[in-house]
Amino acid sequence: PFRLVLADFKALATHLLATSSLSVFERTLLTSPTAALLDVPLDTDGYTSALLHACDNDLDNLVLRLIKLGAAVDVTDNDGATALCLSAATGSLAGVHALLTAGACVNARTLSLATPLYFASEMDWTEVVAHLLAHNATPDAKTTSNSTALCVAAKNGSRSSVHQLIRHRARRPSFATLTKKATMEELMLALCLACERSHLDIVRDLLAIGLNPNLVMDNGVTPLYLACQMGHKDIVQALCMHGANPN
């Protein structure tokens, strides 16, 4: 009887996977039903797998056990976040290491194109940021809102992560000389976000690598404009000391 049920499910899955209307969540369940539903209560739709629940709640011992039991490491939730994304967001270095060792994709993207590195940088989990970078995480991956790990770290005042990301990226000649257009745009966006949120130390750090505070963003604003608009006097002073034109 079990073989008949399994064969019937496989036939149904093959039929449904041929359609283009399935969500990432539905495709995940159809391609790895056993692992995806491992130990999940039937009365909840908050998680698509026990592994996601364990990662999201920082249950390191349970994460390790579920991986050993064969839980699918790249299963996703309704937002397209993998277990690695959730572990990175909670700052669980042990969970992140276990998932990477088990073959989790270090650059997995959510529906908004956020990566595990993005989540770790957002929360300033410096050890996790370093571990992901050591496993070849893409540092300049952009989300649908055009943000990167560096940008969200600058926005949230995650100074240690800003330092790590800059040091990692500074190994590239295009970054160190500030000649690459995409790099310049990313750095300027990070500077603008730090100015807007009044993260003075991060503003000084970004200016110290040679950014021109007078560059105009695509929307027509400058870092000085944002600082003035928000009434951040110390940020205005720092920008002017680095050559920002008040006129």
- Two domains, one topology: 1-105 and 113-247: yes
pLDDT score of 222:
92
| Cβ-proximal residues to 145 (8 Å cutoff; 6+ apart), any chain | 112
The structure's pTM equals 0.78
- The full set of domain ranges for the chain reads 1-105, 113-247
- CATH class for domain 1-105? mainly alpha
Show Cβ contacts of residue 198 under 8 Å, excluding neighbours closer than 6 positions. 227, 230, 232, 234, 235
pLDDT at 121: 97
What CATH architecture is 113-247?
Alpha Horseshoe (1.25)
Nearest CA to 53 out of 67, 64, 40, 43 is that of 40
What ranges make up the beta strands (E) of the chain?
none
Q: What is the pLDDT along the chain (247 residues), one digit of tens a residue?
A: 445 555 665 676 677 677 767 666 566 666 665 554 454 443 445 566 788 988 998 989 889 988 988 888 988 888 999 999 999 999 999 999 999 999 999 999 999 999 999 999 999 999 999 999 999 999 999 999 999 999 999 999 999 999 999 998 777 655 555 557 778 889 999 999 999 999 999 999 999 988 889 988 888 899 999 999 999 999 999 999 999 988 7
**Whole-number Å distance between alpha carbons of 57 and 144:** 26
Asked whether 118 and 146 are in contact (CB, 8 A), the reply is no
Identity of the residue numbered 38: L
